[in-house]
Amino acid sequence: MNLLKEMTAAGPGCAIANGLLNCFETTKVKLQLHNPSSPVYTVPTTRGVMTQIAQEEGIVRGLLTPGLSASLTRSVLYGAYRVGLYSSVRSALSGLNGDDDDNIGTDSTNITFTTRLLSGMITGGIGSLLSCPLDVVRTRMQADSGLIHKNIYTTGLRKGQAVRYTGMMSAFYTILKEEGLQRGLYRGSSVTVARASVLNGAQLATYDTMKQYLGWEEGPILHSFCALLSGIVAQTVIMPMDTVKSQMMLGHSWKDVYHCIIQRRNGALLYLYRGWIPASCGQSLIMVLQMPMIEEFRRLLVVEAI
């Protein structure tokens, strides 16, 4: 019953946070896929892209709603697994590793960082594997977004091209029909799952460890501060994988991060960290909104804090 409560508390919290900050995810994808040889955005920076999109398409249509239906659906499923299962997996692994798990929860001071990291990686990997098709659909919808006239995009990365998807279900059906399950809805799944494992491990291990290190009273201030730090740390760690993941989901030829570095020996680092500012802002703000809400839902459901 506790496990069900933990998953129930995590899903809605993740969905609300991701939905409110969808503009950063949209901007990140646009920046990652922007082609300098045929530029769409006059100033290819976070501020420049967001400003141009807002001017051309409007704030709501251009920044807040692209891929939102897929993002919310994914967040509920992914969040329930990646955050909801974390405490239980941490408890199980702490016993296997010989850590002191007599007081699992906020007083579990003897649980090692490695155990926390591994716990987050396991739950993140499971959640990502199950929600990968939704991630592909969300990325495609955000990349394709723009104003449409007579079924042709007049703005955005696909300016001058025909509309491919009319909504989330249309994207699912079209991708499955034209590209199949493995090459379509699970395109780039190896990078996606690896990214999610590392991201979730870094996020939750940093968040959990900082809570223990600071020793402050449980509450919104502690949760928000630790969440902010965990978001910055996690996004910095996984940014290269994030960039490659977006490229692979759009059908780019990169096989993995290593392949990208080999192909772009001189500019690989800058290329892999394109979109870091909006990604870090989005990740940090998502965590700051997400974790206090999840902790509050856990409190209301009479479940110990993470």
How high is the pLDDT of residue 101? 46
Other C-beta atoms lying within 10 Å of the C-beta of residue 209: 18
Which element (helix H / strand E) includes 33?
Answer: helix 22-33
Q: pLDDT tens, 269-284?
A: 777 787 788 888 878 9
CA distance 164 to 146: 12
How high is the pLDDT of residue 106? 42
- Please name the residues in contact with 236: beta carbons below 8 A apart, sequence gap of 6 or more: 276, 280
SS3 content of the chain, % helix, strand, coil (to 5): 70, 0, 25
Which stretch of 37-46, 131-140, 243-252 has the lowest confidence by average pLDDT?
243-252
pLDDT for residue 207 is more than 90: yes
- For residue 216, the 8-state DSSP code is P
Other C-beta atoms lying within 10 Å of the C-beta of residue 40: 18
| pLDDT average, residue stretch 216-230 | 94
| pLDDT average, residue stretch 101-120 | 73
pTM for this entry? 0.78
How high is the pLDDT of residue 105? 44
pLDDT for residue 192 is more than 70: yes
Architecture of domain 2-300: Alpha/alpha barrel (1.50)
Q: pLDDT tens, 15-51?
A: 998 898 899 889 989 988 888 888 899 998 889 999 9
Domain coordinates in residue numbering, the chain? 2-300
Q: pLDDT over 90 for what percent of the chain?
A: 63
Q: In which band, very low, low, confident or very high, does the pLDDT at 102 lie, cut at 50, 70 and 90? A: very low
Task: Say which residue the tokens 């977004």 belong to.
Answer: 145
CA dihedral 266, 268, 271, 272 (to 10 degrees): -170
Helix 68-82 / helix 22-33 crossing angle, nearest 10 deg: 110
Helix then strand count (H, E) for the chain reads: 13, 2
Contact 88, 7 (CB under 8 A): no
Other C-beta atoms lying within 10 Å of the C-beta of residue 99: 19
Nearest to 277 by CA among 63, 45, 39: 45
The CA R_g of the chain, rounded to the nearest whole Å, is 20
CA distance 267 to 111: 40
Contact 128, 193 (CB under 8 A): yes
Task: Say which residue the tokens 């702490």 belong to.
Answer: 94
Q: State which amino acid sits at residue 42.
A: T
CA distance 39 to 176: 30
Which stretch of 7-21, 27-41, 88-102, 144-158 has the lowest confidence by average pLDDT?
88-102
How high is the pLDDT of residue 263? 65
Q: State which amino acid sits at residue 195.
A: R
How high is the pLDDT of residue 147? 96
